[in-house]
Amino acid sequence: MPTAHKSPKTPATPDRESLLTMARVAAQQAYAPHSKFRVGATVVVRTARGPRIVTGANVENASYGLALCAERAALAAACALPDAIRPTERFARMATAPEISHVALACIDAPADASLASRMPCGACRQWFAELAPHATYYVDGHPRNLTLADLLPDAFQLEPNAERPTDDTSASQPTR
Ligand SMILES: [Zn+2]
């Protein structure tokens, strides 16, 4: 069976273990004085020059509800990447979400015998995944299986269910001013 020749200039996406390792390293920079539960996340963004990796760590606040999860910190950084490939241009003056192929997360303070549930992303992050990384492969440190959005958030709420899918139906295009 012939093998495809890949350009040496285009870096490959790191494998599962490498992405999880990056998430563990990112978690070491977490600001988590209240929970003392450090989490790191790795997000792989598609760019014209190959996959680009951004990381995030959780940032807590004395007003607990204002804490930011590692997953959302990394996704926000991914959105800010100027060279990210963005699948559609629905609004002339607004960038659309970047193409995200993989998300990895690691809770480095979870005890070795911690339940799987305590290592999984929270509901708020899953809703962010539904909007920003619906086609990503998800790696959760300690979870034996690679996951999809359907595993994490089946029947996810979406304001526009087909917003990310371009259509040939020109009547569906946005009005211009
Ligand atoms: Zn979260």
Q: What is the pLDDT of residues 118-146, one digit of tens each?
A: 999 999 999 999 999 999 999 999 999 99
Distance 53 CA to ligand 1 centre (A): 19
CB-based contacts of 16, cutoff 8 Å, min separation 6: 104, 139, 146
What confidence score (pLDDT) does residue 167 get? 42
Fold of 16-164: Cytidine Deaminase; domain 2 (3.40.140)
What confidence score (pLDDT) does residue 171 get? 40
Mean pLDDT, residues 102-124 taken together: 96
Distance 13 CA to ligand 1 centre (A): 24
What confidence score (pLDDT) does residue 5 get? 53
Distance 138 CA to ligand 1 centre (A): 14
Distance 177 CA to ligand 1 centre (A): 38
Domain layout of the chain by residue ranges: 16-164
Distance 152 CA to ligand 1 centre (A): 12
Residues with CB under 5 A from ligand 1 (ion): 69, 122, 125
Write a three-state SS string for the chain: CCCCCCCCCCCCCCCHHHHHHHHHHHHCCCECCCCCCCEEEEEEEEECCEEEEEEEECECCCCHHHCECHHHHHHHHHHCCCCECCCCCCCCCCCCCCCEEEEEEEECCCCCCCCHHHHCCCHHHHHHHHHHCCCCEEEECCCCCCECHHHHCCCCCCCCCCCCCCCCCHHHCCCCC
Q: What is the pLDDT of residues 73-102, one digit of tens each?
A: 999 999 999 889 887 655 556 778 899 999
Q: Which of 157, 143, 147 is nearest to 102 (CA)?
A: 147
Residue 174 has pLDDT above 70, yes or no: no
Could you tell me the maximum CA-CA distance found in the chain, to the nearest angstrom?
59
What confidence score (pLDDT) does residue 170 get? 40
Catalytically annotated residue among 60, 71, 89, 131: 71
Token look-up 């999984």 returns 120
Per the CB < 8 A criterion, the answer to whether 136 and 102 are in contact is: yes
60 catalytic residue (yes or no):
no
